[in-house]
Amino acid sequence: MRRRSAVAQASDIVMNEAVSKKEFSPDSPSRIEGDVESYVLGLGKAARKAARVLASADTDKKNAALEVIASRLLESADAINEANAVDMEAGRARNLDAALLDRLELTPARIQGMADGLRQIVALPDPIGEITDLQTRPSGIELGKMRMPLGVIGIIYESRPNVTADAAGLCLKSGNAVLLRGGSEALQSNLAIARCIRQGLLEVGLPAECVQLIETVDRSAVGAMLAMSQYIDVIIPRGGRGLIERVANESKVPVIKHLDGVCHVYIDKDADLEMATAIAFNAKTDRYGVCNAIETLLVHVDVAAELLPGLAQKYLQEGVELRVCERTQAIIGQASAATEEDWYAEYLAPILSIRIVDSIHQAIDHIAKYGSAHTESIVTADKATADRFLREVDSSSVMVNASTRFADGFEYGLGAEIGISTDRLHVRGPVGLEGLTNQKYVVLGSGQLR
Amino acid sequence: MRRRSAVAQASDIVMNEAVSKKEFSPDSPSRIEGDVESYVLGLGKAARKAARVLASADTDKKNAALEVIASRLLESADAINEANAVDMEAGRARNLDAALLDRLELTPARIQGMADGLRQIVALPDPIGEITDLQTRPSGIELGKMRMPLGVIGIIYESRPNVTADAAGLCLKSGNAVLLRGGSEALQSNLAIARCIRQGLLEVGLPAECVQLIETVDRSAVGAMLAMSQYIDVIIPRGGRGLIERVANESKVPVIKHLDGVCHVYIDKDADLEMATAIAFNAKTDRYGVCNAIETLLVHVDVAAELLPGLAQKYLQEGVELRVCERTQAIIGQASAATEEDWYAEYLAPILSIRIVDSIHQAIDHIAKYGSAHTESIVTADKATADRFLREVDSSSVMVNASTRFADGFEYGLGAEIGISTDRLHVRGPVGLEGLTNQKYVVLGSGQLR
């Protein structure tokens, strides 16, 4: 029903020449003519125009598009699998490593996952257009804030083709046009997914240019995106450190980025040691390759002798390598000495560094020096100590008596996340729909003058 | 009383070697040794350390510092005037133009104004540390957000030495350390003001490095700031277009900027024409040199013949030059034709361009193409039309039936503003204390694991 009514509204949409169906039809993806820079500029210009249409599309239309895209993905599963098989074969021929091939592979379950993800986004409230904080000022004007899309978002990512659907879904629901630049190793898979997205947009009467995939593997396309501040409002890189650093260094467009996840649990002298053991163990071992797993455990000297032997035993039984400070070594033995580099390291592996500290102050100092401002948790039964940790640790998520593994868009109720920001401006932590919006001021007057 | 209690708390503050009183005493400003880049890096490093202390300073201590600085400014009025006289004399010798000299001059009233401004900031609520949006998630964790300082702010400005006190006050209250780079023509004035700020900080037991003035006129200091993303979290440029564009183009540090104020009033076909005349007249003529004055008036064709003759007469009597579209010319005569450049122009002068449009849609398109996303206002009695304008015009302030001149930190109740953002990320419109903060997630658990 939803889809039908949205289709009926299609004629409301302003279709101008540059975003008409002629140029980008679902069946004939655009040919890349001329140099890469002009090609990317053309996409940017079209995205800016489409963004204006999308910004004023109503919730029903955006949801209808998401539903149609989900259906098209499921219907096109065979075509997507075939395209993915081409990428996989090329990847094997290029000797891509097993982890990369695993991320690249699209199984039927993963295609179903993309469709489910889009339908979950349908269920999320639309953040756009809401007016909040209304107040009457002494002048008589009513002042409020209205939430708006950022405009055009550029996403630069590697390997995982499901990002194509996830990112498109979040941008669409938040009213933003998006330019997607996936990894060259996933181009065929991404093209097949993008074709479903294009079909969904056109079917509900939205410009296909709301979601555009850069259809060249030429690396200079990334440089062109990063220079295009007139057409892209924010760049979100997703991938390894090399990619993110390149983007951050080169970009003329503002960047929302996730750099490192060097997360800490600090076990305070007033901790419940059973709880502390469980949290420290869970935060490391639940999953190793994730950014919200801890890399360093800090333990107050007063509880170290009681806590560490048992906890170290649990880690070692689980196959976690421990790299520890001298005082920890004196208590648990059988662990190598941590070097200065270890305190900075994001292992993303079954390795943990452990340091004994003399005070919460020392713990906070350690985190400020070596941490990446991602997620830190204190285990303590003392409220004043907890409050101090909450206030003085300046990370995107700061926790008391909980595993750092909760720093996640789904756990926080955002529904889905386009990434986790370790930046300090605009948005920190998991970035959901709201992180892809801004707020403008609205003023309702009745003839007020100054 | 406030000051006393804050001074008594001074011993709570962590003073480490790099931010001790030894290096920067109130009476002997730091000497610039070695190259400019190392000098600026040194300031940045000290600012980062001071920022951690300031971030956890309580409201009383920050307010006490603001009060002491205000007193020191008033007590030092003679010294500040003398320093300013040196700048003024050098400025006259360099043939600076009259407008620049006017901005440079510090009269007793302006010194009083700086002190008053700081005391107004004392009265504003402290945004830091507040936890909002608390909710219990299905996992049992309590999730909320806590407002935090951004960290270290870099401000690059021209001419007006009172920015030194205003900016320091806003940064201090919002818990941010600040690096100030004023114009070379105002160096002696800025040094005299900075000396008062340093005294105030030290007197309440805050590190003097919370507010540092770059004490060299070497222009490469600006480049060094823009490259110093490890020590500066955001750069705010204040000045002419040349300065702001240089900063935006060169900076590796995120920038909050105010570019142009090409503001519009659109008079709809359903406008009350008396109200429309008053708003259009006020929005242009209340002050000419301000960013929230209008540069272009858009008028619906249905009311143009009735409205424009009288309104044009008022403008011309006030000495406003009109540059108009052909249809306007046909109605009012006696006005030159607007060129394409006129629609883009920020006159900041008694000049106004006028265009007749056929629909609200055309008005919105005009604003999207030629405007600078600063402030636009519609005059209309039709609610649906007003709602459409509010939703579809994507400017930092969008108004109904009010003069654009209300787009201002004081009118919005922010108390003071460090600038007006025409950017799309982080903050839009007037930037007060809240714009200098971010929000981190806080999680309160009771042993939750994943």
Q: Is the pLDDT of residue A241 over 90?
A: no
Domain A263-411 is found in CATH 3.40.309.10: yes
Residue A278 with chain B: CB contacts under 8 Å: 447, 449
Out of B402, B412, B443, name the one closest to residue A399 (CB). Answer: B443
Average pLDDT, chain B: 92
Confidence of residue B446 (pLDDT cuts 50, 70, 90): very high
Residue range A204-230: average pLDDT? 96
Q: Which CATH architecture has domain B2-124+148-250?
A: 3-Layer(aba) Sandwich (3.40)
Report pLDDT digits (tens) over A192-207: 999 999 999 999 999 9
B contact test, residue of A17, A139, A425 with most B CBs within 10 A:
A425
Report pLDDT digits (tens) over B329-356: 999 987 999 999 999 999 999 999 999 9
Report pLDDT digits (tens) over B398-444: 999 999 999 999 999 987 789 899 999 999 999 999 999 999 999 99
**Is A441 within 8 Å of B407 when comparing Cβ atoms?**
yes
Q: For residue A183, what pLDDT is reported? A: 93
Report pLDDT digits (tens) over B138-166: 999 999 999 999 999 999 998 799 999 99
Q: In one letter, which amino acid is B19?
A: V
Q: Do residues B18 and B51 make contact, with C-beta atoms less than 8 angstroms apart?
A: no
Q: Which residues, including other chains, have CB under 8 Å from residue A136's CB and lie 6 or more apart?
A: A142, A143
Q: For residue A239, what pLDDT is reported? A: 87
A450 in contact with B, Cβ within 8 Å:
yes
Confidence of residue A8 (pLDDT cuts 50, 70, 90): very low
**Is B449 within 8 Å of A252 when comparing Cβ atoms?**
no
Confidence of residue A33 (pLDDT cuts 50, 70, 90): low
Confidence of residue A5 (pLDDT cuts 50, 70, 90): very low
Average pLDDT, chain A: 92
Six-digit token string for A75: 């219907």
A219 in contact with B, Cβ within 8 Å:
no
Q: Is the pLDDT of residue A28 over 60?
A: no
Chain region(s) in chain B for CATH 3.40.309.10:
263-411
Q: Do residues A442 and A146 make contact, with C-beta atoms less than 8 angstroms apart?
A: yes
Eight-class DSSP state of A31? P
Residue range B313-334: average pLDDT? 96
Report pLDDT digits (tens) over A54-86: 999 999 999 999 999 999 999 999 999 999 999
A448 in contact with B, Cβ within 8 Å:
yes
Confidence of residue B170 (pLDDT cuts 50, 70, 90): very high
| Residue A382, min C-alpha distance to chain B (Å) | 12
Chain region(s) in chain A for CATH 3.40.605.10:
2-124+145-250
Confidence of residue B19 (pLDDT cuts 50, 70, 90): very low
B230 in contact with A, Cβ within 8 Å:
no
| Residue A65, min C-alpha distance to chain B (Å) | 21
Report pLDDT digits (tens) over A333-351: 879 999 999 999 999 999 9
Residue range A83-110: average pLDDT? 95
Least confident of A1-15, A97-111, A125-139: A1-15
Q: Is the pLDDT of residue B264 over 90?
A: yes
Residue of chain A minimizing CA distance to B421: A440
Least confident of A275-279, B191-195, B342-346, B413-417: B413-417
| Residue A104, min C-alpha distance to chain B (Å) | 27
CATH code that applies to domain A2-124+145-250: 3.40.605.10
Residue range B214-218: average pLDDT? 92
Residue B430 with chain A: CB contacts under 8 Å: 441
Q: Is the pLDDT of residue B23 over 70?
A: no
How much is the CA Rg of chain A, to the nearest whole Å? 25
Q: What angle (nearest 5°) sits at the alpha carbon of residue B150, between those of residues B148 and B151?
A: 105
Chain region(s) in chain B for CATH 3.40.605.10:
2-124+148-250
Q: Is the pTM of this model over 0.95?
A: no
